[in-house]
C-alpha cells in the first residue's frame, strides 16, 4: 500500500521539473511502484481528476464548499481563508497556512505537530467516493465532514495536494499526453496502442491497469463497451469543396445539422445518451430515449447523431435553446414539449454485440439505414456519394437554405477513428473559422458594472501538460442582462480574486471570432488575437476540447501562407 504522503511528495517534485520528458519518467516510476488497486486511482490523481471523466460519479466540490471545510477544520474564518488565497493565489498553500495557524487552540492538528503514520491513497480515494456519492438534503454537510476528516488527518504536504485534488485543480502540469507516455514507458507498451485504447475507453486508469497486467497484448484487448462513451471522431475544416474532392476523391456528402451531438448506447430498451463532452445526459432527453426505443431495430447498438431543435418556421433554433434541454434537471417533460428535439442519426459504431469502427463508413451507413425507421422524431437523412463538384455545391446551398450549418464531406471507405480530427471527415461552413477557447480568468467591470464581470481571459489547451496557456482577452461589452447571465455562469468557478482580477477554474469554453492570430510575448501561449469577439458559450465542449496550442500555431502559419 502506498501512502498519500508519497503521492504528495511526488507531486511536489514534479512541480519543480521544467521538461515533460523528465516528468514522464517520474510518473512512470510512480505508476510502477503503486499496487494494481492503486494504479487507476493514481493515474487519475496525477492529472488532477478523481474519477474518469465519463463516470456518473463526480466530486461536486466547489471553492465555497472547500473554504467552509477548511474553515471548520482549522478554526480560521472563511473570510480569513479568502484573504489568504488572495495573497497566495493557491488553494494548496492556503490550506497549509490555515491548518497550521491553529487560532483557537483546536485539538485537531495532531498531524501537523506530531509524527504519525499518515493516510494511504486508498483511504483518500474512499473518502472522495463518499463525498461524490453524497446526495439529497444533507449532501453538503456530508461532503464537508469528509473533507474535514481528511484535512484533520493530513500532514502539511498532504493538505496542500488534498485541497487541490478536492476541487480537481492539481496544477502540476501533467495532462493526458504525459500520462499516456508514462504508461507506455512504465509497462513497456507501444504509445500508439495506449493512445488507441484511451480513445476507445476514455479511461487512462483502465488502460494503465491493462498495460501493467500484460503490456501490448492486454491493452489491445481493450475495446468499445456499451454504456462507456467512446471519444468522438471530429472533422477538419476544408477551405473549399474543390480541395475536399482533391483530398478524398469520391466523397460521401451529408448536411451538417445545426444542433448538438449525441452518442447513444442501446441495450434492449435501456438507453444511455452522452453529450459531446461525454457526460451522461439521458435523464434530460426522455423524448430522444423514446424515439430510439421505438425506432431503432437492434438488441445492442452505439449510435451517433445530431439532436436538432426545429422552430415554428421549420428552421433549427438557436444553439442556446438546445443546451437548455441538455442542462435541464427538473421539469424535464415541460421543456421537452416547449423545445422538442429531432434526432438526425449519421453513424453507428456498434451493432448487436460487434464493434463496427473498423468497417468503412459505407458499410456502417448501410446498417444504420436498414435498422432505423425514420419519422418526424428520428431520421437517417440523405447521404450522396459523388465526385461531382456542382452536385455538392447544390447540396451545400440546400443545407444553408434550410438553416443548417453547411455540409460534412466524408471519405466513404474510412473507418471511424475515435477522438481523431483527421482528413476523413471534412466540414464546409460559410463562416470564417472561429476558435474555441477556455475562459481562465476575468475582470470585474467599472462603476455601474462593478458587480458584473466585464472581460474574460482566454487560454488554449496544451494536451501534454494539461494547462491552458493564455492567448488573449475578450470584453463582452453587451447588455447588462447578458453580462449578468455570464457573471452567474462563472460565479461558482471563481478560484480567487485580487483587486478587480479573478482567477477562474478552467471549465467553460467560449467560441471566439477574431481578425487574425499574431505572435506575442505578452501571453504564455506566445500568440495573441486581433479583435476577438464572443460568438457563443460552447457548453457542449469540455476545456480539453478547446483549440490546442499546436492548432493555434497551424492557423497562424496558414494565415501567413
Ligand atoms: P463545429 O463548431 O463546426 O460544430 P466541432 O468542433 O463541434 O465544430 P467538428 O468535429 O469540427 O465539431 O464538426 C463535426 C460536428 O458537426 C459534429 O461534432 C456534429 O456535432 C456536427 N454534425 C452535424 N451534422 C453532422 C453529420 N452529418 N456528420 C457528422 N457530424 C455532424
pLDDT in tens, 280-323: 899 999 999 999 999 999 999 999 999 999 888 888 998 888 98
Q: Which residues of 397-417 are buried (b: 16+ CB within 10 A; e: fewer)?
A: eebbeebbbbbbbbbbebbbb
φ/ψ bin of 127: left (φ > 0), alpha (ψ from -120 to 50), beta (otherwise): alpha
Q: Is 346 in the pocket of ligand 1 (CB under 6 A)?
A: yes
Rounded average pLDDT over 140-165: 95
Domains and CATH numbers, the chain: 48-165 (1.10.3260.10), 239-426 (3.30.470.30), 432-557 (2.40.50.140)
Kindly report, residue by residue over 450-506, the tens digit of the pLDDT: 888 989 999 999 998 889 999 999 986 567 788 888 888 898 888 888 888 999 999
Q: Is 551 in the pocket of ligand 1 (CB under 6 A)?
A: no
Rounded average pLDDT over 218-241: 94
Kindly report, residue by residue over 114-127, the tens digit of the pLDDT: 555 679 999 999 99
Q: Is 176 exposed, middle or buried (0-12, 13-18, 19+ CB in 10 A)?
A: middle
Binding residues for ATP: 254, 261, 276, 306, 346, 421, 427
Task: Output the nine-digit C-alpha cell for 316.
Answer: 433549427
Residue of minimum CA distance from atom 17 in ligand 1: 261
> What is the per-residue pLDDT for 18?
86
Pair type for strands 533-537 and 527-530: unpaired
336 within 8 A of 283, measured Cβ to Cβ: no
Of 271-275, 348-352, 556-560, least confident by mean pLDDT is 556-560
Band of the pLDDT at 107, cuts 50, 70, 90?
A: very low
Residue of minimum CA distance from atom 11 in ligand 1: 235
ipTM: 0.96
441 C-alpha to ligand 1 centroid (Å): 28
Q: Is 512 in the pocket of ligand 1 (CB under 6 A)?
A: no
Kindly report, residue by residue over 500-510, the tens digit of the pLDDT: 899 999 999 99
Q: How far is CA 481 from CA 155, 255, 449, 456, 512, in A?
A: 46, 35, 11, 17, 20
Task: Output the nine-digit C-alpha cell for 390.
Answer: 456542382
Band of the pLDDT at 67, cuts 50, 70, 90?
A: very high
Distance CA(392)–CA(253), nearest Å, equals: 7
Return the best residue to mutate from 234, 254, 256, 551 for the ligand 1 pocket (most ligand atoms within 8 A of CB): 256
Q: Is 428 in the pocket of ligand 1 (CB under 6 A)?
A: no
Distance CA(127)–CA(150), nearest Å, equals: 8
284 C-alpha to ligand 1 centroid (Å): 21
Distance CA(46)–CA(335), nearest Å, equals: 40
Rounded average pLDDT over 550-558: 89
Band of the pLDDT at 78, cuts 50, 70, 90?
A: very high
Q: What positions carry a catalytic annotation?
A: 256
Kindly report, residue by residue over 155-209, the tens digit of the pLDDT: 999 999 999 999 999 989 999 999 999 999 999 999 999 999 999 999 999 999 9
> What is the per-residue pLDDT for 346?
98
**Is residue 30 scored above 90 in pLDDT?**
yes
Return the best residue to mutate from 254, 255, 257, 307 for the ligand 1 pocket (most ligand atoms within 8 A of CB): 257
Band of the pLDDT at 216, cuts 50, 70, 90?
A: very high
Distance CA(171)–CA(151), nearest Å, equals: 19
Pair type for strands 300-309 and 260-267: antiparallel
CB atoms within 10 A of CB 334: 10
> What is the per-residue pLDDT for 438?
97
By C-alpha distance, which of 88, 61, 47 is closest to 176? Answer: 47
532 C-alpha to ligand 1 centroid (Å): 23
Q: Is 151 in the pocket of ligand 1 (CB under 6 A)?
A: no
**Is residue 50 scored above 90 in pLDDT?**
yes
> What is the per-residue pLDDT for 218?
98
Q: Identify the residue whose cell numbers are 482549522.
A: 74
Band of the pLDDT at 112, cuts 50, 70, 90?
A: low
Kindly report, residue by residue over 354-385, the tens digit of the pLDDT: 999 999 999 999 999 999 999 999 999 999 99
**Is residue 253 scored above 80 in pLDDT?**
yes
> What is the per-residue pLDDT for 109?
47
Rounded average pLDDT over 259-264: 96
Amino acid at each position: 500500500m502506498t501512502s498519500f504522503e508519497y503521492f504528495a511528495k511526488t507531486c511536489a517534485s514534479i512541480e519543480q521539473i521544467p521538461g515533460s520528458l523528465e516528468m514522464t519518467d517520474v510518473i512512470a516510476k510512480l505508476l510502477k511502484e503503486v499496487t494494481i488497486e492503486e494504479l487507476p486511482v493514481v493515474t487519475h490523481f496525477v492529472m488532477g481528476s478523481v474519477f474518469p471523466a465519463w463516470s456518473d460519479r463526480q466530486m461536486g466540490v466547489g471553492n465555497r464548499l472547500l473554504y467552509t471545510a477548511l474553515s471548520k477544520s482549522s478554526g480560521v474564518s472563511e473570510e480569513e481563508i479568502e484573504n489568504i488565497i488572495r495573497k497566495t493565489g493557491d488553494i494548496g498553500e492556503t490550506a497549509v497556512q490555515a491548518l497550521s495557524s491553529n487560532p483557537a487552540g483546536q485539538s485537531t492538528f495532531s498531524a501537523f505537530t506530531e509524527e504519525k503514520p499518515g493516510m494511504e491513497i486508498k483511504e483518500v480515494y474512499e473518502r472522495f467516493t463518499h463525498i461524490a456519492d453524497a446526495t439529497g438534503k444533507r449532501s453538503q454537510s456530508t461532503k464537508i465532514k469528509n473533507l474535514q476528516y481528511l484535512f484533520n488527518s493530513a500532514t502539511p504536504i498532504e493538505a496542500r495536494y488534498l485541497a487541490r485534488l478536492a476541487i480537481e485543480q492539481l496544477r502540476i502540469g501533467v495532462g493526458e499526453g504525459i500520462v499516456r507516455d508514462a504508461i507506455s514507458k512504465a509497462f513497456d507498451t507501444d504509445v500508439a496502442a495506449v493512445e488507441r485504447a484511451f480513445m476507445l475507453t476514455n479511461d487512462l486508469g483502465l488502460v494503465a491497469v491493462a498495460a501493467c497486467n500484460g503490456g501490448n497484448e492486454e491493452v489491445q484487448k481493450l475495446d468499445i463497451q456499451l454504456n462507456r462513451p467512446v471519444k468522438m471522431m471530429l472533422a477538419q475544416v476544408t477551405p473549399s469543396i474543390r480541395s475536399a474532392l482533391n483530398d478524398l476523391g469520391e466523397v460521401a456528402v451529408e448536411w451538417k445539422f445545426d444542433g448538438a451531438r449525441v452518442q447513444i448506447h442501446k441495450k434492449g430498451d435501456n438507453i444511455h445518451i452522452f453529450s459531446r463532452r461525454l457526460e451522461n445526459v439521458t435523464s434530460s432527453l426522455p423524448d430522444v430515449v423514446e424515439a430510439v426505443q421505438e425506432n431503432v431495430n437492434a438488441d445492442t447498438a452505439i449510435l451517433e447523431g445530431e439532436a436538432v431543435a426545429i422552430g415554428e418556421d421549420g428552421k433549427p433554433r438557436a444553439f442556446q435553446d438546445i443546451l437548455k434541454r441538455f442542462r435541464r434537471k427538473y421539469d424535464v417533460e415541460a421543456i421537452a414539449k416547449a423545445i422538442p428535439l429531432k434526432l438526425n442519426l449519421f453513424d453507428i459504431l456498434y451493432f448487436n454485440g460487434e464493434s463496427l469502427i473498423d468497417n468503412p463508413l459505407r458499410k456502417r451507413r448501410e446498417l444504420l439505414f436498414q435498422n432505423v425507421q425514420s419519422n418526424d422524431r428520428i431520421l437517417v437523412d440523405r447521404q450522396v456519394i459523388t465526385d461531382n463538384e456542382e452536385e455538392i455545391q447544390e447540396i451545400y446551398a440546400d443545407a444553408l437554405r434550410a438553416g443548417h450549418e453547411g455540409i460534412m464531406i466524408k471519405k466513404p471507405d474510412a473507418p471511424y477513428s475515435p477522438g481523431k480530427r483527421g482528413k476523413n471527415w471534412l466540414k464546409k461552413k460559410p463562416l470564417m473559422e472561429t476558435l474555441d477557447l477556455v475562459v481562465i480568468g476575468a475582470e470585474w467591470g467599472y462603476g455601474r458594472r462593478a458587480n458584473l464581470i466585464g472581460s474574460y481571459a482566454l487560454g488554449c489547451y496544451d494536451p501534454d501538460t494539461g494547462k491552458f496557456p493564455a492567448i488573449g482577452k475578450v470584453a463582452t461589452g453587451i447588455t447588462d442582462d447578458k453580462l449578468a447571465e455570464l457573471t452567474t455562469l462563472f460565479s461558482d468557478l471563481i478560484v480567487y480574486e485580487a483587486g478587480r482580477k479573478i482567477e477562474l477554474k478552467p471549465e467553460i469554453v467560449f467560441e471566439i471570432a477574431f481578425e487574425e492570430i499574431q505572435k506575442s510575448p505578452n501571453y504564455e501561449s506566445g500568440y495573441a488575437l486581433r479583435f476577438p469577439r464572443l460568438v457563443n458559450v460552447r457548453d457542449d465542449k469540455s476545456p480539453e476540447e478547446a483549440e490546442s496550442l499546436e492548432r493555434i500555431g497551424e492557423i497562424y502559419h496558414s494565415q501567413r501562407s
